[in-house]
Each structure stands twice: as structure tokens, then as C-alpha cells.
Amino acid sequence: APIPKAALASLRERTGRGGDELDFATFAWVASVAFVEHLRQQSEREETIASIRKAFDRCDRRRVGLIETADCEHVLRDAGLQVPSDAVRSAMPAKQRSGDDLDLITTVRIWDELVSVFGYTTRLLPEMSAEDRAQRNALRKAFDKYDKDGSGSITKLELVQAFRAAGMSFDAKTFGEVFNKADTDKSGTIDFK
């Protein structure tokens, strides 16, 4: 791929060389940096698609490779992308907006469109310590175990059971307050975030 003019100008400025030609050593350095960046982006893309697939599979209750349109936002959020609901709906192809189910490829395309519109280039999960990751993984495992219908949401009772399975406990008042804060849409269920 051609080297962008701005990159060439920056390279010339750093190396003190003028003209449009690069010596072989400089060219090799630029090519190796570009290749490493390409590999990093490819690896990041594979991780993103794996996260989307995992979230998609949890919402594919019929196990036919399709999710309901209403589940798309849950899949994207569970995979780490948080955007407004209306943005998710507007990124869907017309036939899905009218109720057709979504396949994985269409869901990935919706992700890509939302990332391009909102400027997110990586998943939005914050960096965590090893201890936090271990606790999050234990909670995810417990969450999936108690999400009996695979909907990606659990009730208050199911959450109590999930916390107990992860070795966590709260008094009833504190738990009620925590649940009510997490249940932002007041549906009586919460999603794993």
C-alpha cells in the first residue's frame, strides 16, 4: 500500500531527508511498522468478532444461527459496545427493522457501522486487574448458569443465586438497592455488563 503523504512528510522530518525517495533501510523500517500495525488490527478484529459471536450465541435461544431484532442491542452491549438504542435500530438493514431475525454476519456489520459512526475502535471494556478479571469471570459463569432461558437477562432471585455461586453475599436492603440501580429500565431484570 502506498505510504500517505503526511506519513512521508513526518518521516522526512524525523530523518532529515528530503525528496520523494526513501533508502532501503528506511523503507524496510516503515514496512515493518505497517506490518506490525496490520497484525495488531487483525488480532483485535478477531477478538472483537469472537466476543460478538459469544454474545450472539447466548441470545440464539432456538440455536438456528439467528437472533431476534430486539436482542441485537443486548449482543452489542454484551460484546462491549454501548451506543444508544435508536442508533442500533437505525444501523439495521430495513428488513431487520421491520422484524426479520438477524444472523451473525449482519450483527457484525451493524457493529462495524456503529463503530464507524461513533468512532469506537476497540471494545469498551475497561482494563481490569487480574483479581477483577477473575471475579468478573466467576460472575459471568454464574450469570450464564442462572440465565436459564439464555435471554442475557436475569431476575432479582436469579441474581441472588448468581452472587451466592460466586461467593458473594449482601444483606437484603443493600442487595435491593444494588439491583434497583442496575435495573435502569425498571424491567425487573438486569443484563450482564
pLDDT, tens only, 94-134: 888 888 899 999 999 999 888 888 765 444 445 556 676 67
The DSSP output letter for 151 is S
Tracing cell 427493522 back to the chain, one arrives at: 97
The verdict on pTM exceeding 0.85 is no
What the block records as the C-alpha cell of 132 is 477483577
What the block records as the C-alpha cell of 83 is 451506543
Chain-wide mean pLDDT for the chain? 76
pLDDT of residue 122: 42
Q: Torsion angle, CA of 150/153/154/155, rounded to 10 degrees?
A: -130
pLDDT of residue 13: 65
Which of 100, 97, 75 lies closest to 86, judged by CA? Answer: 97
